[in-house]
Amino acid sequence: MGALSGNVTTTAYYVDGEVPEGFRETFVDAMNKNSFTDIDLALDHDESMGWVSITDPFDSELTIEKFVWGDYLMAAIRHDVVRLPATAFKFHLQKALAERREKEGRERLTKAEIDDTRDFLERQLKKRVLPSIKTHDLVWNVPRKELWFWTTNKKVNELFVDLFEDTFQIKIYEKNPYSRLERMEESERLIARALEIEPSSMAAQPSKGGA
């Protein structure tokens, strides 16, 4: 389920500020600088996140044609993670430690040797595991200054905000009662008032005779 079809589950954001002149070209360049790349296991990385085409998670070479659609800018974030199943890893580790003890003719290994075996095993096994791939679509209505991000997962949204702001150098704010007040007419007055009042007790007994 994403921007192009299916039910809609999104987190809505307000965009703060104007887009620069020539933003289409600027933004495409910026996205290509932050595009998705495969996880680099040699650097002991477990995950990777970056921009890809909204129609193809394996296409990280963005062009204006793939990104711009009338008033809308559309792309996806691809987030890959390599995870070793905990129980399976535990069994492999026990086996590896047993083999090392036998090879070295000792009953016990030092903590450093155990850590060393664990780290080596982890690196080897990660090369054999397919990373999980998740993509989350972004649709940005530029004149409306609003965008939707296709997930409500809190952690992914935090990562998205960081990536978005780093890429586009524009701040975004999640939609909520406060940010809605900021967008309304007389926002200063409304916000000041909202910060003065306290929650009402809706279940209290009504007063007789009306107000």
Partner 1 sequence: MDLINRINYTSFLGREFLTWLWYRSDTREGLFKIDDNTVEVWFDAKLTLEAQGDLKESNVVKAENPTDTDEARAALLTGKLVTEARLRVIVEQKQWGATVKADNIGLSSVKLPALLSREDDDQLYERFFLMEEMEDILDALFDQFIAVRLNDSTWKKEINAIRSWIHNVD
Report the distance separating Cα 81 and Cα 165, nearest Å: 22
Backbone angles phi, psi at 165, to 5 degrees: -65, -35
Q: For partner 1, which stretch binds (CB under 8 A), given 34-42, 57-65, 76-84, 194-202?
A: 194-202
Report the distance separating Cα 129 and Cα 208, nearest Å: 70
Strands 68-69 and 47-52: unpaired
Of 2, 11, 31, 77, which one interacts with partner 1 (CB under 8 A)?
A: 11
* 4 binds partner 1 per the rule CB under 8 A: yes
Report the distance separating Cα 181 and Cα 193, nearest Å: 11
Of 10, 57, 77, 92, which one interacts with partner 1 (CB under 8 A)?
A: 10
Name the residue among 78, 116, 124, 75 with its Cα closest to residue 97. Answer: 116
Interface of this chain with partner 1, residues 120 to 139, rule: CB under 8 A: 139
Shortest distance, position 207 Cβ to partner 1, whole Å:
6
| Cα torsion angle, 154, 158, 161, 164, sign | negative
* 201 binds partner 1 per the rule CB under 8 A: yes
Mark 73-102 with x for binding to partner 1 (rule: CB under 8 A) and - for no binding: ------------------------------
Shortest distance, position 161 Cβ to partner 1, whole Å:
13
Interface of this chain with partner 1, residues 41 to 80, rule: CB under 8 A: 69-70, 72
| Cα torsion angle, 170, 174, 179, 185, sign | positive
Question: Do 172 and 179 meet the contact criterion of CB atoms below 8 Å apart?
Answer: no
Mark 139-178 with x for binding to partner 1 (rule: CB under 8 A) and - for no binding: x-x--x-x-x---x---------------------xxxxx
For the chain, the C-alpha Rg in angstroms (whole number) is 25
Applying CB under 8 A, the residues found at the interface with partner 1 are: 4, 7-12, 69-70, 72, 139, 141, 144, 146, 148, 152, 174-181, 184, 190-191, 193-195, 197, 199-207, 210-211
